Structure 1
Amino acid sequence: MFSKVRLEKKQTLLTYNFTKKGSDSLYEYLYKCIKNDILHGTIQIGEKLPSKRTFAKNLGISVITVENAYEQLMAEGFIYSIPKRGFYVSDLKDIDFSEKAVQKDHLILTGGTTSYLADFTSNQTDSQIFPFTIWARTMREILNENQTQLMINPPCGGVMELRESIANYLHDFRGMIIKPEQIIIGAGTEYLYGLLIQLLGNDKIYGVENPGYPKIARIYDSMKISYKIIDIDEDGVPINSLEQEHVDIIHLSPSHHFPTGIVTPVSRRYELLGWACKNENRYIIEDDYDSELRLSGKPIPTLQSIDVSDKIIYMNTFTKTLSSTVRISYMVLPNALTERFYERLSFYSCTVSNFEQYALARFMESGSFEKHINRLRNYYQHKRDAILSIFRQNPLGKYITIREEEAGVHFLIHIRTKKSEEEIISNAKSNGIKLAPLSKYNMKEQKQQQFNNTYVINYSSIDLSQLDKIAAALYKIIL
């Protein structure tokens, strides 16, 4: 580890010539210059670096460029920060220079905030869309009326009032006929996956969609579970791949696949149900994470609603419909697994507080959740339409193809350019745009090329007032 020292030395005025940066992006070149000066003693141990804003002004570059350079230096231990004081050079005596540098993709901006002009990788909910007034009133009602219940530990599956509200909601809006006892509440889908693996067994072979949500594979890795990466086609997961790989449990997002946006057609859905019925150990985990946010057309029926063999484990979350910071998720277990859950895992305590569960139950029972969903759809549809309109009207429109924009809060954009994906991402970052390539979600090296220069555009946190600047910046980046 690098040592931190507190030497109050005079701050050095640093200046660098960016005409010599070559193929490096601005922030990469600045990072290398500062690192080189630290290693050669030009900038000494304990010395304070210029503030980001002052440094950017002196060099004639953006604050974001300086911020990214500092974050890379901090990630590698060359500098450290002191809250409200600034950035200082670390004591390098314990450095092992053979250590691999931290990958830039894993860097997190200090304080969890971002100063990007547009962060298309963020799923953060815009604060103006959250129903703060109604939620605050609901919380006050719960605190006044449910004081006794709030102090009683909930059942392992969660507060019954919330499970009943969810069951009613799923019946009315998703056509699912279930009992509240089948619903298990948890603080995030990651926690629920841990329960599922214990319930289904670690001797099973799990299937992961490719491209897909990387965290699923990481959960399986962390729990030493055997899994197979299943390439999807234009209709989703092919049945022959499941058979060839001897998969027992397959994770799917059939109503709106992440990240491709594919909707699995009815014919493939029945094929999947037929596959699951062939063996008593087979189950399908249906991840319906943003089904409420289909912006056009009728809602897609769930697999669970057409399953007559009790083979679907349905999962959903409130992080998309309420806020990315609301860690309330749930799963609906088939009847046989419900009995097994209570027999084997009922010793687990519910990981969501009573306060939140009772408040959410009241929020749903009062009709406020339904009204919020309708408002949310209108809000995101307006946002999506505004973004697509600007992108297509701008000179940028000649170089892009937009796909899968009808559901959820993300779409795909393919850029026709001679630049490499690495160049696009690096140049975008230097210009205040954060992009996530579709290839990032690919788990097989040999299929990398087919995803080249296609990007997953999550627009939930984009500031519409900055759209002209964003489009102009993207156009500059790809030329």
Structure 2
Amino acid sequence: MLTYHLDPHSKTPLYEQLYRAVRADIMSGALAGGDRLPSKRRLAANLHVSQITVETAYGQLLAEGYLSSAPRRGYFVQQQLAVPAQTQTPRTAVQPSPIEEPHYLYDFRTNIVDNGCFPFSTWARLSRSVLSEYSDRLLRATDPRGAVELREQIARYLYDFRGINVSPDNILVGAGSEYLMQLVIQLLGRDRVYGLENPGYRKLYQIFAAGGAAVCPLPLDKSGLRADTLAASDASVVYLTPSHHFPLGTVMPAARRLEILRWASDAPDRYIIEDDYDSEFRYASRPIPALGELDRAGRVVYVNTFAKSLAPGLRIGYLVLPDALMARYRERFSLYSSTVPSFEQHTLAAFLRTGAFERHISRSRKVYQARRDALLSALARELADLPHEVSRSEAGLHLLLHMRNGMLEHELIERAAAVGVRVYGLSAYYTPPVEPPKATLVLGYAGMTEPHIDEAAALLRQVWNVQSHP
């Protein structure tokens, strides 16, 4: 009986894992031409998977010519397959072995969404409609700022749900936040100093460095980035996540927002980049109004993507540029082509126009709130005897866990990894000289099912119990 190790937690579907394993055995000669494979029922029972999984794997092997089938007899390895003999080739250099990522049973990642929430059937239906309605127009070059239909729908969405009254002419669609940030750096200039939140999203430092821009880490307090520290710095542009800071989860109050807007207005050519990355996911109240809603001087560059609300793989984001910057863009960069295919833009426009996006967000919010609640319950139950505190769970797709059991942050991470649970330290988001809080973890829950959350929390209790681990 064939026996393979199939990982139910892998991103690769079970049927594809089985298909690859059988194909590898055929190509290595472990399964010879004419060998009969187990029936779908017997192999499914042996591997503890569904018969559909085995049937799909066998079907793919059959389609590619690795197997043949006979009525009432089953599946056989093709007789004509010959395993090529290995030839000795001179070794000119020793190639380094690829570094394999450790395997984790449970991973509290923050940069993930649940693909199961994606409305595939609605997206497919709208895609077919777009193909029929726009036909050959999809093959033509679109406006460098993006399809006008999509920009109109984004403008409507921003007005209805974020309180920002903006013209579609001020919206620029692009392939994700990394591309858009590089474009902003070109628009504003590489000779500036860009203020970044500390702690903050580490990838931002790499993006600005790749764009040749100087950065200045700026400390935060309980209200977010400090306006006095910003004013005392050399920065003329500041990057903020005011509606839900990552990773601290701080919501910047209105008074602080007005202070930073005044800073921007006090000198010519100062700008604020507002990243509104997960504003859709608040569980205790309505979404916080965007900073751009308060801007009357044209100093806020608003940036958002559909990575958290739909899927990272779509690679669709957008900027809202003040009039002066949009004029600068049209003068200098309108020769650039749109970086998002017309087909995806028109499909997303239809998704927004028909109300499907609002329904999707409503459903996703319920799923993620249930997972947030499951994580809070699991931590309260499993860590009841361990001093700890949970904070910043009111919004977004992650929370902070402050452990007070005497372990250092790296000990918490290492012991969790030893039992197959991946957790992330808050210190990774800090830049010296600002000191991070002690023994604090960032736990993302969007990619974890509720049973997995319970199982992971039980494992954490075992390894974080100081009494049982001297």
TM-score range, shorter chain: 0.7 to 0.9
2:180 matched residue in structure 1: 192
Is the CA contact (8 Å cut-off) linking 1:396 and 1:472 kept in structure 2?
no
2:221 matched residue in structure 1: 233
1:51 matched residue in structure 2: none
Once residues 130 and 219 of structure 1 are traced to their aligned partners in structure 2, the CA distance between those partners, rounded to angstroms, is 28
Aligned match for 2:321, one of 330, 333, 357: 333
Return closer, same or farther for 1:108/1:182 CA change in 2, 3 Å cut-off.
farther
Is the CA contact (8 Å cut-off) linking 1:121 and 1:435 kept in structure 2?
yes
SS for the counterpart of 1:325 is helix
Is the CA contact (8 Å cut-off) linking 1:391 and 1:397 kept in structure 2?
no
Once residues 381 and 119 of structure 1 are traced to their aligned partners in structure 2, the CA distance between those partners, rounded to angstroms, is 18
Once residues 449 and 232 of structure 2 are traced to their aligned partners in structure 1, the CA distance between those partners, rounded to angstroms, is 46
Aligned match for 1:437, one of 425, 428, 432: 425
Is the CA contact (8 Å cut-off) linking 1:167 and 1:178 kept in structure 2?
yes
SS for the counterpart of 1:320 is coil
Is the CA contact (8 Å cut-off) linking 2:371 and 2:449 kept in structure 1?
no
Give the TM-score normalised by the residue count of structure 1: 0.75
Q: Which moved more, 1:367-376 or 1:420-429?
A: 420-429
Q: Which amino acid is 1:376 matched to?
A: S
Q: Could you give the per-residue CA deviations for residues 388-438 of structure 1, whole angstroms, max 9, x where no partner exists?
A: 112112245633210000011011011112222222212211211111111
User: 1:139 aligned to 2:127?
Assistant: yes
2:439 matched residue in structure 1: 453
Return closer, same or farther for 1:244/1:180 CA change in 2, 3 Å cut-off.
same
Return closer, same or farther for 1:344/1:385 CA change in 2, 3 Å cut-off.
same
2:113 matched residue in structure 1: 125
Is the CA contact (8 Å cut-off) linking 1:396 and 1:471 kept in structure 2?
no
1:52-131 map, 5 Å = 109=101, 116-131=104-119
Q: Which moved more, 1:215-224 or 1:337-346?
A: 215-224
Identity of aligned residues (%): 41
Is the CA contact (8 Å cut-off) linking 1:396 and 1:475 kept in structure 2?
no
2:463 matched residue in structure 1: 477
Aligned match for 2:195, one of 207, 231, 246: 207
User: 1:316 aligned to 2:304?
Assistant: yes
Segments of 5+ residues of structure 2 without an aligned counterpart are 1-90, 466-470
Q: Could you give the per-residue CA deviations for residues 272-307 of structure 1, whole angstroms, max 9, x where no partner exists?
A: 110000111200000000001111112211111111
Deviation of 1:357 after TM superposition, in Å, equals: 0.4
Return closer, same or farther for 1:108/1:237 CA change in 2, 3 Å cut-off.
farther
Segments of 5+ residues of structure 1 without an aligned counterpart are 1-90
1:347-366 map, 5 Å = 347-366=335-354
Once residues 175 and 235 of structure 2 are traced to their aligned partners in structure 1, the CA distance between those partners, rounded to angstroms, is 28
Once residues 173 and 232 of structure 2 are traced to their aligned partners in structure 1, the CA distance between those partners, rounded to angstroms, is 34
1:9-408 map, 5 Å = 109=101, 116-396=104-384, 398-408=386-396
Q: Could you give the per-residue CA deviations for residues 103-124 of structure 1, whole angstroms, max 9, x where no partner exists?
A: xxxx663xxxx85222112432
2:32 matched residue in structure 1: none
Q: Which amino acid is 1:475 matched to?
A: R
Deviation of 1:92 after TM superposition, in Å, equals: 11
Alignment RMSD: 1.9
Once residues 454 and 445 of structure 2 are traced to their aligned partners in structure 1, the CA distance between those partners, rounded to angstroms, is 15
Is the CA contact (8 Å cut-off) linking 1:315 and 1:330 kept in structure 2?
yes
Return closer, same or farther for 1:435/1:395 CA change in 2, 3 Å cut-off.
closer
Q: Could you give the per-residue CA deviations for residues 115-158 of structure 1, whole angstroms, max 9, x where no partner exists?
A: 52221124322222111110111111111111122011111111
SS for the counterpart of 2:224 is coil
Q: Which amino acid is 2:237 matched to?
A: I
Deviation of 1:94 after TM superposition, in Å, equals: 5.5
Once residues 207 and 108 of structure 1 are traced to their aligned partners in structure 2, the CA distance between those partners, rounded to angstroms, is 36
SS for the counterpart of 2:273 is strand
User: 1:409 aligned to 2:397?
Assistant: yes
Return closer, same or farther for 1:108/1:455 CA change in 2, 3 Å cut-off.
farther
2:45 matched residue in structure 1: none
Is the CA contact (8 Å cut-off) linking 2:110 and 2:443 kept in structure 1?
no
Is the CA contact (8 Å cut-off) linking 2:388 and 2:405 kept in structure 1?
no
Q: Which amino acid is 1:460 matched to?
A: A
Is the CA contact (8 Å cut-off) linking 2:196 and 2:218 kept in structure 1?
yes
Is the CA contact (8 Å cut-off) linking 1:118 and 1:463 kept in structure 2?
no
Q: Which amino acid is 1:454 matched to?
A: T
Return closer, same or farther for 1:452/1:309 CA change in 2, 3 Å cut-off.
same
Once residues 95 and 144 of structure 1 are traced to their aligned partners in structure 2, the CA distance between those partners, rounded to angstroms, is 51
Once residues 149 and 189 of structure 1 are traced to their aligned partners in structure 2, the CA distance between those partners, rounded to angstroms, is 27
Once residues 121 and 388 of structure 2 are traced to their aligned partners in structure 1, the CA distance between those partners, rounded to angstroms, is 40
Q: Which has the larger radius of gyration?
A: 2
Deviation of 1:452 after TM superposition, in Å, equals: 2.1
Once residues 92 and 410 of structure 2 are traced to their aligned partners in structure 1, the CA distance between those partners, rounded to angstroms, is 30
Give the TM-score normalised by the residue count of structure 2: 0.77
Is the CA contact (8 Å cut-off) linking 1:400 and 1:415 kept in structure 2?
yes
SS for the counterpart of 1:447 is coil
Is the CA contact (8 Å cut-off) linking 1:253 and 1:286 kept in structure 2?
yes
Once residues 95 and 357 of structure 2 are traced to their aligned partners in structure 1, the CA distance between those partners, rounded to angstroms, is 54
Once residues 424 and 116 of structure 1 are traced to their aligned partners in structure 2, the CA distance between those partners, rounded to angstroms, is 15
Once residues 296 and 346 of structure 1 are traced to their aligned partners in structure 2, the CA distance between those partners, rounded to angstroms, is 42
Q: Which amino acid is 2:356 matched to?
A: S
Q: Which moved more, 1:382-391 or 1:327-336?
A: 382-391
Aligned length: 375
